Structure 1
Amino acid sequence: MSRASTRDRLAQSAFALFDERGYEQTTIDDIAERAGVGRTTFFRHYRSKEEVIFPDHDRLLAAIRERLAGSTHATALAAVSDAVRLVLLHYLDEGDVARRRYALTSKVPALREREIVSVARYQRLFREFISDWMGDTGRSAPLRAELMAANVVAAHNHVLRRWLRTESADPVTEVDEAMSEVLALFPFPSPPSVTDDSGATVVVLRTGTPVDALLPALRRLMDHGPEL
């Protein structure tokens, strides 16, 4: 049996036992026995019972960091939207496992606390990126970066929970629309000055949001951009 199939079998066995016996009453030995493997094999794939439940946050955070690092000042906001979509797609790919996790964390306080810590890690990553993107724009800059990051994470979680509750038929479109709403809440900092200011720069961002809904953000960009 391959490593991937063993890992998946352990996860499926764990969730089945959590449903039958409850999270607290299920042990690592129970999970290993249900999966037909030994305790040592369990620890080759997971460090703890909790780790069976949660996705690989370290890998997701690394993917987000890589996407953000590949952006420029002009494409930073598009990179934020792409990073949010990347996380959502991971949960969508998990399918039923993501929904079972959601049900479980809603009932077990210890798991809910771990989830809160994980969300804070995502928010910190976005806050640091947004702070660098905005630059040193006064005493309020750290607060604005924190507020923007919090709204980015809140928009993602709002759409994700709707999908987890089977309330959203098209979560990808919803998250794109939600991010357009979030970005429209904040002023855009002026891009770094360049030696040749005789032309105009146009940035194209694909979105499912109607043009009319984007106009307030575009007007805000023009208001805060460099004077001609």
Structure 2
Amino acid sequence: MSKPPARIRLADAAFALFDERGYEQTTVDDIAERAGVGRTTFFRHYRSKEAVIFPDHDRLLDLIRDRLATSSQSTALVAVSDAVRLVLLHYIDEGDLARRRYALTSKVTALRDREIASVARYQRLFREFIADWMGDPTAAASLRAELMAASVVSAHNHVLRRWLRDECSEPVAEVDEAMREVLALFSGPPERENVAAGAAGADTMIVAFRTEQDLEALLPSLRRLAERGPTV
């Protein structure tokens, strides 16, 4: 039976040593020796000891960019959901390795800080895409794009952590549902509103809502509300 590829052997050796000796006490030479390869082979596959732990974020970010780039104005939010699913599937494919990484980063502050920095890169990519999709350079739109991106990343991480803790048996279905919840909050680029006109009484605002009351019974209350004028 053939040996696993050197990259896999290095990762397995690294996590085994981290469990045995601790992250700080394990060196690159230790990992290479346990994997049965030389130091040069280690650096052919990984830039550093930390790089063994984390997935190839650059490749994942490229996959996200490629998926987002195939979208149109009308399919942008679908592309966002697909991109989130791509990242989740990467972790699921890693299986036990992803769970070992989660356990390790939960204990080592330096690794947790690096993971936070990586999450920020994903959020920035989504924010830039959403801002372009909105096509609105105003500060309000910029804030909305930031909020949308943060919600997208939070939804993914929430489901991922549940799967890593064995609290979720169908993570793909759960992340799809989570994304539906998020995107329902941001159904499209907001319409430009003339606030000043509202203050002058020139606009009519129509509010849609659901009720079990009969329309005929509801109309008198609506008329009284309209006669009363705006309230704060």
Tell me the CA shift for residue 189 of structure 1.
Answer: 2.0
Q: What residue number does 1:197 align with?
A: none
Using a 3 Å threshold, how does the CA distance of structure 1 residues 135 and 3 change in structure 2: closer, same or farther? farther
Rounded Cα–Cα distance in structure 2 between residues aligned with 1:190 and 1:114: 35
Q: What residue number does 1:44 align with?
A: 44
Tell me the CA shift for residue 190 of structure 1.
Answer: 7.1
TM-score normalised according to structure 2 size: 0.80
Rounded Cα–Cα distance in structure 2 between residues aligned with 1:8 and 1:58: 19
Percent identity reads 79
Alignment of 1:9 with 2:9, yes or no, is yes
Q: What residue number does 2:56 align with?
A: 56
| 3-state DSSP of counterpart to 2:101 | helix
- RMSD (Å) for aligned C-alpha atoms: 1.9
Aligned 1:6-155 pairs, distance under 5 A:
6-136=6-136, 138-155=138-155
Give the structure, 1 or 2, with the largest relative contact order (CA under 8 Å, sep 6 or more): 1
Q: What residue number does 2:217 align with?
A: none
Tell me the CA shift for residue 3 of structure 1.
Answer: 11
The 4+ residue runs of structure 1 with deviation greater than 2 A are none
Q: Spell out, residue by residue over 1:68-108, the C-alpha distance to the aligned partner (whole angstroms, 9 max, x if none).
A: 00000000000000000000000000000000000000000
Which structure 1 segments of 5+ residues have no match? 192-215, 217-228
| 3-state DSSP of counterpart to 2:185 | coil
| 3-state DSSP of counterpart to 2:40 | helix
Q: What residue number does 1:224 align with?
A: none
Using a 3 Å threshold, how does the CA distance of structure 1 residues 130 and 95 change in structure 2: closer, same or farther? same
Rounded Cα–Cα distance in structure 2 between residues aligned with 1:33 and 1:189: 55
Q: What residue number does 1:172 align with?
A: 172
| 3-state DSSP of counterpart to 1:184 | helix
Tell me the CA shift for residue 137 of structure 1.
Answer: 6.1
Tell me the CA shift for residue 146 of structure 1.
Answer: 0.2
For this pair of structures, how many residues does the alignment match?
A: 192
| 3-state DSSP of counterpart to 1:64 | helix
TM-score normalised according to structure 1 size: 0.81
Tell me the CA shift for residue 138 of structure 1.
Answer: 3.3
Rounded Cα–Cα distance in structure 2 between residues aligned with 1:46 and 1:101: 16
Rounded Cα–Cα distance in structure 1 between residues aligned with 2:29 and 2:163: 33
Q: What residue number does 2:162 align with?
A: 162
Tell me the CA shift for residue 181 of structure 1.
Answer: 0.4
Q: Spell out, residue by residue over 1:128-177, the C-alpha distance to the aligned partner (whole angstroms, 9 max, x if none).
A: 00000011163300000000000000000000000000000000000000
Q: Spell out, residue by residue over 1:200-226, the C-alpha distance to the aligned partner (whole angstroms, 9 max, x if none).
A: xxxxxxxxxxxxxxxx9xxxxxxxxxx
| 3-state DSSP of counterpart to 1:130 | helix
Which structure 2 segments of 5+ residues have no match? 192-209, 211-232
Rounded Cα–Cα distance in structure 2 between residues aligned with 1:51 and 1:177: 32
Q: What residue number does 1:188 align with?
A: 188
Rounded Cα–Cα distance in structure 2 between residues aligned with 1:137 and 1:10: 47
Rounded Cα–Cα distance in structure 2 between residues aligned with 1:101 and 1:187: 35
